[in-house]
Each structure stands twice: as structure tokens, then as C-alpha cells.
Amino acid sequence: MNSVSGSSEDYSFYSALSHPPLRAAGTTPDLSIYRPKVIPKYGAFRFKAPIEGLLQMGGAHSAETDWSDDFEIAWTKMGSKGPLVLFLHGVPTNRSQWEEVQGQVSRFCETISIDMLGMGESSKPRLYGRKDNSSPNTMWHWINDVDYIEKLMQQEYPGRQFIFIADDWGSGIASHYAAKHNDRLNALIQMDPIAFDGYPVNEIQAIGRASEIPNTKEGDAQFAMLFAAFDQTLVQILKSMVYDPSKYNQYNLRYLTFPYVDVDYERNGKNDGVTDVARSTTMRLKLHNLRVLSDRAAILSPSLLLPHHPQCNPHGVQYQNITVPTLIMWGEYDNMMPAAQTQRFAHVLGTDDVQITYIPRAGHFPATDNPDCVTDTILNFIRRVMGRSALADIYIGNQGIWKGDERQMIQELRVLHGIAD
């Protein structure tokens, strides 16, 4: 340390923060100064569900099904140092929605993203908890998602606290989780959360109403005809959720639509297992998965998101149990739900530490529209609530105009803070 003799004042930071600019380095952010993105690891958490559901056997278009309570939750892990972060997606998407942000955050944190039950690559139990086809559709209540998420995190990271980051539909689950397992969290981060009475929206309500079609062979054929154009509908829904529709094209959309639409370039004449509708087309719908999505959407109601009341609203959220620091992010141009609901969190949570941040040039999916700003907001919040030494590396931002001396600066700051390259 370069300090004046007999003085506690430290002058080491003068050297680290006073380099002349390097013209060759340029003035735009260069994220290569940070640790490289970690190669993702893919896997699944297997658990025994409390009741059986009808799982599809033999491929996406097979008519073969079987009752089972052995389910899987697909995950992606990135990073191995720093605070533990869990990412949960919205609807009708999957964990790939977080891919860019998770990759950036994993330079500073240990991260895991998951597909919620019934979506992405996770198990898709049809008639979940309704083996007799007449029981109420209550197994899709979010409190049941809370249970398998807690089991997953305890198995993969025994006893560790974590930061729960959730978007859209996932934020409803995260609110229920935080209310029940507040002691398991370091912080809660919600992005464009569905909350209170601002949900559900028309598009998801329409999908949910289709669950009323009987679960019979004839009903499946009716369902198939009703959803014959769902691939087009799904694309339009997704494009309406972003500020810049050019963020989505027919190729990157497949990462979001693959659970529901299969691309068959061979046009090999196979149909969807129910009807002959798809026999001559390249894209075929996965009707089993769509019926599961419809069942999940059907159970949603504002009551699940409004505050808990023992008589009037027993399935509501016990928001006052949430006492951890909370960040609410909202896309500046989100046209799906009322932005004013973000302010309600400040008045209903059991903590005064509620930060509300609006993400510029972003719609309902800010992680797609403006991943750099979302990453910056997340990391600055984590550093504020957990301390600068919590992150696995020095973080000096990822946006704006750079001076050109950042690579030298970060190397010296690592030495000063005892962080190995």
C-alpha cells in the first residue's frame, strides 16, 4: 500500500484511478476486461411429486402417455463464485429468456436458471392431480411451485441463502416463495412482476379458457383445431412483449417456442398424434404441452396475487412476511400491465428497503430488450445490499462511454481488494 508514513490515509487508489486513456482501447464498453463467461452446465432436478400427472411417452408427438409422480425440473448453471442467484422465467417462455443476463451475471455470481414445471424442458404433467378428470385444478397453484423450488435449492445448494430473480409469471411464484421462505433469501428481485389485481391479461386468459375442452379423444381433436394457428399467435404475443420486435426473428424465437412448436424440415408425413391437421406442414404443434399450458393458465386469478386474508383470500400472498431487500424493475414501455402496481410493493412488503427502477427502451421483457441495463441494475443492487466484496470480481459497469483505461484500472483494483485474476 502506498500511504503516507504515520497516516492512515491510503493513496493506492490514486494510481488505480488516474491512468491516462489508451486510444487503442476505444471508448465503448469492453466486457472482455471481466472474467470470461462460464460454459453453461445443463441438467435436471428429479423429485417425487405429491400426486400423479399424465406424462407423454415416446416423443413430442406420441399418443402414448402414462401416469407418474416422477418429475424433472430442467436447469442451467453458470458461474462458481460469488452470491448464489436463482433465475425464474415468465410465460409463455422458458429459462432461455434469461440466457444473456445470466451469462453476464455469472461473471460475478454463481447462478442457476430453471424451467418451471409444465414449461421449457421440465416435465409437463397433463391432468395434474386430476386423474379422475373431475377434481379441481388446484395442483397448479403457485404454492406447489414453491415446494419443488425449495427442494431443488436445498439439494443443489444445501443450506445456502440466495437471491431470487424472477420475471412476469415467475414473479408470482417468487412472491409466494419469499413469503414462505424469507429466511432462505439474501434479496428478492422482481422484473415486470405480475402482482395484485393487474393480472391476468387477455392473451393468457384465452389460453386458459381452452382447458374447459374435455380431456377425451374427441376433445383433443377439438383442442387441436382451436389451436391450429397457435404458432402464429405465440409469435405475435412474444413480439408484443418487447419494445423492439426486431429482437425476435424466426430463429431465436425457436428457443422460446420449442415446447409448443416442432420444426420438421423433412416433412416426413407424421402428424401430431391426434389429427391430420399437421400432416403437410413443416411446423407441428405439440398438443400435449399446449394442454398443460392451458391448464396452468386456467388456474390464474388476481386472488393468487392479492394480499392474503384468512377468510376472503386464503391463497393470497403474505407480503408482510417478505423482509429482505427488494428490487422491482419495470420496462419503460411495458404495455401488458399497469406500471403503477410497482409502487404497491413499497407499501405492502415487510421491508422499507424497496428499490424501484425503470428500464429504458424496454417492454415487458427487459432482459431481451435491454440486457446490459438489466445486468447493470442487478449487479449494482447486489453490491449495495451485500457489500462490494460479495461479488466475485470488480464490477465497473457495462454501459455508456468508457475512457480507455478500464483494463488497467480493474487489474489494479483487483490487487487492492485481494481478488485473484
Q: Per residue in 381-421, pLDDT tens?
A: 999 999 999 999 999 999 999 999 999 999 999 999 988 76
Structural domain spans, the chain: 35-216+299-390
pLDDT of amino acid 331: 96
Torsion of CA 114, 90, 371, 390, to 10 degrees: -50
- pLDDT of 263 higher than 80: no
Mean pLDDT value of segment 86-108: 95
Q: Which of the two residues, 69 and 62, has the higher pLDDT score? A: 69
C-alpha 339/C-alpha 347 separation (Å) is 15
Mean pLDDT value of segment 325-332: 97
Which CATH architecture is the domain 35-216+299-390 placed in? 3-Layer(aba) Sandwich (3.40)
C-alpha 277/C-alpha 272 separation (Å) is 8
H or E stretch covering 345:
helix 341-348
- pLDDT of 130 higher than 90: no
pLDDT of amino acid 1: 37
Mean pLDDT value of segment 102-111: 97
pLDDT of amino acid 3: 41
C-alpha 369/C-alpha 255 separation (Å) is 16
C-alpha 372/C-alpha 376 separation (Å) is 6
Give burial (CB, 10 Å; 0-12/13-18/19+) of 276.
exposed
> Which CA distances in Å does 53 have to 84, 222, 287, 384?
32, 22, 16, 43
Residue 270: pLDDT band (50, 70, 90) is low
- pLDDT of 264 higher than 60: yes
pLDDT of amino acid 262: 82
DSSP E strand stretches across 79-227: 84-88, 110-114, 162-167, 185-191
pLDDT of amino acid 35: 87
Q: What is the chain's Cα-based Rg?
A: 23
- pLDDT of 126 higher than 60: yes
- Nearest Cα neighbor of 110 from 77, 74, 87, 88 is 77
Report pTM: 0.92
Per the structure block, which three cell numbers stand in for 101?
443476463
pLDDT of amino acid 300: 82
Q: Which of the two residues, 135 and 24, has the higher pLDDT score? A: 24
Q: What is the pLDDT of residues 291-301, one digit of tens each?
A: 999 999 988 88
Q: What is the pLDDT of residues 234-255, one digit of tens each?
A: 888 889 899 999 999 888 888 8
pLDDT of amino acid 131: 81
pLDDT of amino acid 421: 65
pLDDT of amino acid 269: 53
Which of 59-63, 125-129, 181-185, 366-370 shows the lowest per-residue confidence on average (mean pLDDT)? 59-63
Q: What is the pLDDT of residues 177-235, one digit of tens each?
A: 999 999 999 999 999 998 888 777 777 888 888 988 988 889 999 999 998 888 888 88
